[in-house]
Amino acid sequence: MKKKAERLVTFKGKTGFAVRVKRTWSEFRRNKIGVLGLFISLFFVVIAVFAPIIAPYSPSDIYVGAPLSPPSKEFPFGTDELGRCILSLIIYGSRISMSVGVIAALINISIGTIVGLICGYYRNILSDALMRVTDAFIMMPSLALMVVLAAILGPNIYTIILAIGITTWPTTARTVMSQVLSLKERQYVEAVRAAGGSDFYIIFHCILLNVLPIVFTNMILSIATAVLYEAGLSFLGLGDPTRISWGIILYYANTSGAIISGAWWYVIPPGICIILLVVAFTFVSHGLDEVLNPRLRRR
């Protein structure tokens, strides 16, 4: 009886999830802001994937032009203080900036989802302890904590990813916990529990499938937040100087005096790329919110 009920709920859960994904995509395509954000995001993804093919030069190619030359036909975005092509730096920098954003967001979502599931479903010492830890992280200024961690662990790309990932998960945990508190009282969950379904089965087969859309939306927004934080930390000199990212380009522009000397082409293009990517992911997240939250669609 127990196995039969579990198979039935699993089948319905997987089928229902597939239907929801299809319906979500159908409704998302009607959201102009969301589609615009998706288009811009995919544009940067293509640039990052095909950077070696698209970029005119390698980031290691120095003095291919005169240092701090303004934009020209040969160098559309000008050159930096080492005579490197800034367009090539931006193209290759998209790889690191997006990689940091995605990996840090995965860490954020993984920790936040696990903590949210435990705190929302259980009421015991472990869940109470995790909630106190979550509250403590929420009360701390995220950027200040990232700066401290990056300064202690040293300036490298893995430190930046870790610092962003482990300081941004509390918001996800809170969101998941609120959803779990509502879902665990639903009738189908009570039916599985009455049929003898284990807590593990209920959490991962009945509740998690219904939380995934919200988790995915939070992940998209977390990528935008991580890209912005990476740029900020790198600009402060806490990034990895051996790996080119948009934040590192701004750091080099600042240390070389490009801002003071009026070399705007060294600052504006990477800044615009950061803004465009963050806004794009924010648009996608907002579009998904409108699809998944009927109250937003009625506004």
CA angle 122, 125, 131 (to 5 degrees): 75
Q: How far apart are CA 247 and CA 72, in angstroms?
A: 24
Structure tokens that stand for 5 in this block? 């009920």
2-55+95-250+268-297 CATH, one of 3.40.50.300, 1.10.3720.10, 3.40.50.720, 3.30.450.20: 1.10.3720.10
How far does Cα 140 stand from its chain's mean position? 20
Q: Considering Cα of 226, then 232, then 233, then 234, what sign does the dihedral take?
A: positive
Written as tens digits, the pLDDT of the chain (299 aa) is 445 445 544 544 455 556 767 777 778 888 889 899 999 999 999 999 999 999 999 998 889 989 999 999 999 999 999 999 999 999 999 999 999 999 999 999 999 999 999 988 888 888 888 888 888 888 888 878 888 888 888 788 888 998 899 888 888 999 898 888 888 878 877 787 777 777 788 888 788 888 888 888 889 999 999 999 999 999 988 888 888 999 999 999 999 888 888 899 999 999 999 999 999 999 998 888 888 765 544 44
Q: What does the domain layout of the chain look like in residue ranges?
A: 2-55+95-250+268-297
Running DSSP on this structure, what letter comes out for residue 61?
A: -
Running DSSP on this structure, what letter comes out for residue 70?
A: P
